Amino acid sequence: MWISFNRACILLVLLVIAGFAATGRAQATEQTLSVHWEELTSADFNAAIQRAHGTCLLPFGILEKHGPHLPLGTDLLNVRYASLHAAEKNYALVFPEYYFGQIFEARHEPGTVAYSPELQLSLLHETTDEMARNGCKKILIVNGHGGNEALLPYFAQTQLAKPRDYVVYIFDARTPPPVKGAPQEKSTIDLHAGEGETAKMMIARPDLVHQDRAPSESGADQHRLNLPAGVYTGIWWYARFPDHYAGDGAVATKALGKYQMDWWIDSITKTIAAVKADNESLKLQNEFYDEANHPLDTKQ
Ligand SMILES: [Zn+2]
């Protein structure tokens, strides 16, 4: 059947429009790509890895008591709020909820989930291996939990045990250094569920803060151990803070929370930029793995 030239032109235009629409349906544009790993389609994941230049965030929290006034997931809720906002400012992919860290010292409190030491390490290794297999060649672990502060540098050191084609970076700062004129904390001690953490929750999830309950327990240091400086024992935390509360959440304010959260988001954003710009770590890792295979050939 012959169709007129005009009809042919209209048909062509319609086909082109349909083609564009189909492409749009198959793949999101760069700007609309979610930073949430679990929200992407498989095809969009591919595009997201390209856009992120292989840079992925693993916000790391825990399930533990947070004084009498904050939710069990406080660390994860706060660190994900900061990480997701940072990843939106400088695009990076954010791994789903991860709370499989070190928390033996709160096993006596309801709601704490404490996995075995072996599982903590092997799950973290398998998680970063799987992230890397999916294109995350730069993995930035953003720590939201004080109890992970020994685990994470140890985990990073174990990267050198066998060759890996990716680099693990750890960002572990949650509180800004004191700055003149900026909102300051009033508390003399603020180690867990205290002023800073409560203030940040007032930004991340204000609906979960029960500040009126904060004074119902003491977060003061009980000083129940007297060991010389430089001596470490695992029971130190329980000795000082048996109720797993260290500070005073009652004095927290939203203004302090905004200041601390903005600083945290900004710091993570800058770290993403530094990680993206780092081309040396992987090169040096590979050089090291190679030399470690034949140490007698290493130049003296
Ligand atoms: Zn916490």
User: What is the reported pLDDT for 27?
Assistant: 66
Domain boundaries, the chain: 32-176+184-277
CA of 65 to the centre of ligand 1 (A): 8
pLDDT digits (tens, 9 = 90+) for 87-145: 999 999 999 999 999 999 999 999 999 999 999 999 999 999 999 999 999 999 999 99
Please report which helix (H) or strand (E) contains residue 258, including its range: helix 254-277
Torsion over CA: 214, 220, 225, 229 (sign): positive
Going from the Cα of 164 to the center of ligand 1, the distance in angstroms, rounded, reads 31
Task: Give the neighbor-by-neighbor strand order of the sheet with 93-94.
Answer: 93-94, 55-60, 138-143, 167-171
- The rounded Å distance from CA 147 to ligand 1 centre is 9
In the structure, ligand 1 is a single-atom ion and the residues with CB under 5 Å from it are 74-75
275 touches 138 (CB < 8 A): yes
Task: Give the Cα separation of 274 and 279 in Å (integer).
Answer: 10
**Span from the CA of 61 to the centroid of ligand 1 (angstroms):** 8
- Per-residue pLDDT at 299: 87
Give how far the C-alpha of residue 102 lies from the chain's centroid of Cα atoms, to the nearest Å. Answer: 15
Give pLDDT, residue 3. 53
Q: Which residue's structure tokens are 């400086």?
A: 229
Cβ-proximal residues to 277 (8 Å cutoff; 6+ apart), any chain: none
* Ligand 1: centre distance to CA 70 (Å): 9
Q: How many angstroms does the Cα of residue 197 sit away from the middle of ligand 1?
A: 6
> CA-to-CA distance for 48 and 70, rounded, in angstroms?
34
What does the pLDDT read at residue 8? 56
- Quote the ligand 1 centre to 228 CA distance (angstroms): 27
* 234 alpha carbon – ligand 1 mean position (Å): 18
Regions of the chain with pLDDT less than 50: 1-2, 9, 13, 15-25
| CATH level 2 (architecture), domain 32-176+184-277 | 3-Layer(aba) Sandwich (3.40)
Distance 246 CA to ligand 1 centre (A): 10
Query: pLDDT digit string (tens) for 80-89?
Result: 999 999 999 9
Per the prediction, the chain carries an average pLDDT of 93
Cα(300) to centroid(ligand 1), Å: 47
Ligand 1 centroid to residue 194 C-alpha, Å? 9
Note the pLDDT of residue 19. 47
